[in-house]
Structure 1
Amino acid sequence: MSLRDKLINLFYQGATSSRKARTLLTPIGGFFFFIFVGLFILVSFQIDNILKLPQFLHNPLNVMISLPVLTVGLFLALWSILHFFRVKGTPVPFNPPSTLVKTGPYAHARNPMLTGVFILLLGLGTLLKSISLTFIFTPLFILLSVLELKAIEEPELEKRLGKEYLEYKKGTPMFVPWLRAKSKMTEVTKKYWSKN
């Protein structure tokens, strides 16, 4: 069994274990997520210092740009978490909702909470004037998140939720709602031109 399969099974076992076990695993999963994000932030500041990178925005421009970005990111993350709590679940993969959440931001994107975290990282990088956090580590965090979602979390969701999740996945974009709309428009345009 590959490491990927072991991780999928670990997430599946955690998500389908007893309520008590899931409750115990939730803070552990949350802790590791926040440590992971925190390491990206700390390493980015170290890279800025080691490479002596200049600050790319100055006061008050950095504040004027970052505050709306931080507000949107925080709102999206909290709104997403609220929809998980409403169905007695958490965003931690070891204690997810027992049913597929397709309300609120989840009606438009499969991972709106992570989208909020990405936006928060961009806003934080802008606020703190960090070139590496804004332009290197946030995109790297997004890339690693996509790889983890595709390799582990989505296969676990398919295994646990079955056909309902597959249909949801097919009709709902991963992060950005209008990306799916553009691809549908492309299909419509292709069909139109192929007929004419």
Structure 2
Amino acid sequence: MSPIETVCSAIVLVYMALFLILTARAARASGQSFWLFGKGSESQALPALLFRLSFVGVAFYALTALVLGDPLAAPVHNALDGRFGDLVGAALASAGAGLALYSQIHMGRSWRIGAASGQLGTIVRTGPFAFSRNPVFVGQVMLFLGLALALPNLIQFTLSFLLLAAVHRQVRIEERVLEGDLGAEYQTYRREVRRWI
């Protein structure tokens, strides 16, 4: 593993730790659960499973890569690996982790994992949410795509695909719940700000 690939593996582990710490702190400060998967009328079982598989998988793979080197380097890795991919991947992973964490912090008391009617916070329209309705997801996708560039192998490609599928499905669910709960306020926000960028 190159030093840049090692940094990319560390980035994902630091992101995961900070994501969990920030979520726990926000839940403790508000006195409510932020885990809304499994609550509400919209079935979120599939995206919840895909998120778990992708994040646990990428954390496990990053730890394995840090300890053992990239154990699955061939054959995809050898064909796609190189300094350019490592540099672009590291930049994308770093920017994605930063955007996702900044967006999570910026949501404050509106931070939720999943969506359930009657349990949503207010719409956040400032900071990264002035440019994207889903900057946390945009950041997470950037993180995973950066990892796929820096550590190109079938496992990382599969984990990135699982995350993309989870994000796609979950955003559709959250949009329906937000529109049902917030009505015209959300419809106005939806017209003013794009889903992704």
TM-score range with shorter-chain normalisation? 0.5 to 0.7
In the TM superposition, what is the alpha-carbon distance from 1:160 to its structure 2 partner?
Answer: 1.4
Instruction: Return the letter of the residue paired with 2:55.
Output: G
Greater C-alpha radius of gyration: 1
Choose the corresponding residue for 2:168, options 140, 146, 167. 146
Separation (CA, whole Å) in 1 of partners of 2:51 and 2:170 = 16
1:99 counterpart residue number: 122
CA distance in 2, matches of 1:140, 1:130: 14
| Post-superposition CA distance 1:133-172 (Å, at most 9, x none) | 34x553453244223322x211110111111001111222
RCO greater where, 1 or 2, for CA within 8 Å and sep 6 or more?
A: 2
Query: What is the TM-score normalised by the length of structure 1?
Result: 0.60
Can you give the 5+ residue segments of structure 2 that lack an aligned partner in the other structure?
1-26, 38-47, 63-70
Find the counterpart in structure 2 of residue 25 from structure 1: 33
Q: Which amino acid aligns with 2:34?
A: T
Match of 1:129 among 139, 152, 166: 152
Q: Relative to structure 1, is the Cα distance of residues 105 and 171 closer, same or farther in structure 2, using a 3 angstrom cutoff?
A: same
Partner of 1:162: 183
Aligned pairs for 1:30-179 (under 5 A) are: 35-38=52-55, 41=58, 53-55=75-77, 56-85=79-108, 88-93=109-114, 98-131=121-154, 133-134=156-157, 137-139=159-161, 141-150=163-172, 152-176=173-197
Contact 1:84 1:97 in 2 (8 A): no
- CA shift, 1:27, in A, is 5.3
| Distance change (3 Å), C-alpha of 1:94 and 1:23 | farther
CA contact 1:107–1:172 (8 Å) conserved in 2: yes
Note closer, same or farther for the CA distance 1:92–1:158 as it changes in structure 2 (3 Å cut). Answer: same
Contact 2:50 2:166 in 1 (8 A): no
Which whole-Å CA distance do the structure 2 matches of 1:103 and 1:142 have between them? 25
Answer yes or no: is the 8 Å Cα contact 2:50–2:162 preserved in 1: no
How far apart are residue 54 of structure 1 and its match?
A: 2.1
Identity across matched positions, percent: 23
> Which consecutive aligned stretches of 4+ in structure 1 deviate over 4 angstroms post-superposition?
31-34, 39-42, 94-97
Deviation of 1:75 after TM superposition, in Å, equals 1.5
Q: What is the distance in 2 between the residues matched to 1:105 and 1:147?
A: 21
Q: 1:118 to 1:72 in 2, by over 3 A?
A: same
Deviation at 1:66, TM superposition (A): 1.4
| Contact persistence 1:40–1:141 (CA under 8 A) | no
- Give 1:128 shift: 1.7
CA shift in 2, pair 1:127/1:146, >3 Å: same
**Relative to structure 1, is the Cα distance of residues 147 and 163 closer, same or farther in structure 2, using a 3 angstrom cutoff?**
same
